[in-house]
């Protein structure tokens, strides 16, 4: 079982921000800014490449709502999905990163 599926089943703890039948959101364990949380599907979907339209919409909408609740509405934030090796994905369970609370550089290395 992957590490995020263990978080979903509760065998690994997380700092939960939001949960419904399909979606879980929690703070990243290694935050890259004052705000850094992850939004994941509760069903194990390895990469964005396998995801269907409805769950992508739900994940992104939830990321938007939580970013606003955490104070990112005025100055914004970075919404990121890393995919497979070239995208720098290290956990093979689809997740949206939201990083905010500081200015971020672009482009990535
Ligand atoms: P990726 O590199 O796959 O896009 O991002 C994986 C993210 O998951 C990283 O930012 C990493 O800090 C986070 N992460 C890995 N293991 C855990 C964990 O056990 N708990 C939490 N909250 N975040 C984790
Ligand atoms: Zn998983």
pLDDT tens by residue, 21-66 = 999 999 999 999 999 999 999 999 999 999 999 999 999 999 999 9
Tell me the HSE value of 24 on the side-chain side, using a 13 A CA sphere.
20
User: What is the distance in A from the centroid of ligand 2 to the CA of 59?
Assistant: 15
The number of the ligand 1 atom at minimal distance from the alpha carbon of 87 is 4
**Measuring CA to CA, which residue among 106, 101, 25 is closest to residue 60?**
25
| DSSP assignment letter at 74 | T
Burial code (b: 16+ CB inside 10 Å, e: under 16) for 36-75 equals bbbbbbbeebeebeebeeebbebbeebbbebbeebebeee
Q: 27: which strand partners?
A: 37
pLDDT at 82: 98
What does the pLDDT read at residue 90?
A: 98
> What are the residue boundaries of the structural domains of the chain, listed by start?
3-100
Percent of the chain with pLDDT over 70: 100
Q: HSE-up of 1 (CA within 13 Å, CB side)?
A: 12
Q: What is the mean pLDDT of the chain?
A: 98
Q: Given ligand 1 and candidates 5, 27, 28, which is best to mutate, with the most ligand atoms within 8 Å of its CB?
A: 28
Report residues whose beta carbon is within 6 angstroms of any ligand 1 atom. Answer: 3, 12, 14, 26-30, 82, 88-91
Residue 34: what pLDDT? 98
pLDDT at 12: 98
According to the model, what pLDDT value does residue 109 have?
84
Ligand 1: atom nearest CA of 12 is 19
Name the CATH architecture for the domain at 3-100: 2-Layer Sandwich (3.30)
> Alpha helices, DSSP H only, in the chain?
3-9, 53-69, 84-87
Atom of ligand 1 nearest to the CA of 15: 22
**Which residues 6+ apart lie within 8 Å of 37 measured at CB?**
17, 25, 26, 27, 28, 66, 70, 97, 98
Q: Say what the pTM is.
A: 0.98
95 is catalytic: yes
Please tell me the predicted confidence (pLDDT) of residue 54. Answer: 98
By residue count, the chain amounts to: 109
Q: Tell me, what's the pLDDT at 106?
A: 97
Mean pLDDT of 13-23: 98
Q: What's the CA-to-centroid distance between 75 and ligand 2, angstroms?
A: 32
């Amino acid at each position: 079982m992957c590490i995020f599926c263990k978080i979903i089943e509760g065998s690994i703890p997380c700092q939960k921000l939001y949960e419904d039948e399909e979606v879980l959101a929690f703070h990243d364990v290694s935050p890259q800014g004052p705000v850094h949380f992850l939004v994941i599907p509760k069903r194990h979907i390895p990469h964005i490449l396998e995801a269907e339209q409805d769950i992508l919409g739900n994940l992104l909408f939830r990321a938007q709502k939580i970013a606003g609740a955490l104070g990112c509405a005025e100055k914004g934030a970075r919404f990121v999905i890393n995919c497979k090796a070239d995208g720098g994905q290290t956990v093979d369970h689809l997740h949206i990163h939201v990083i905010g609370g500081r200015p971020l550089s672009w482009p990535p290395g």
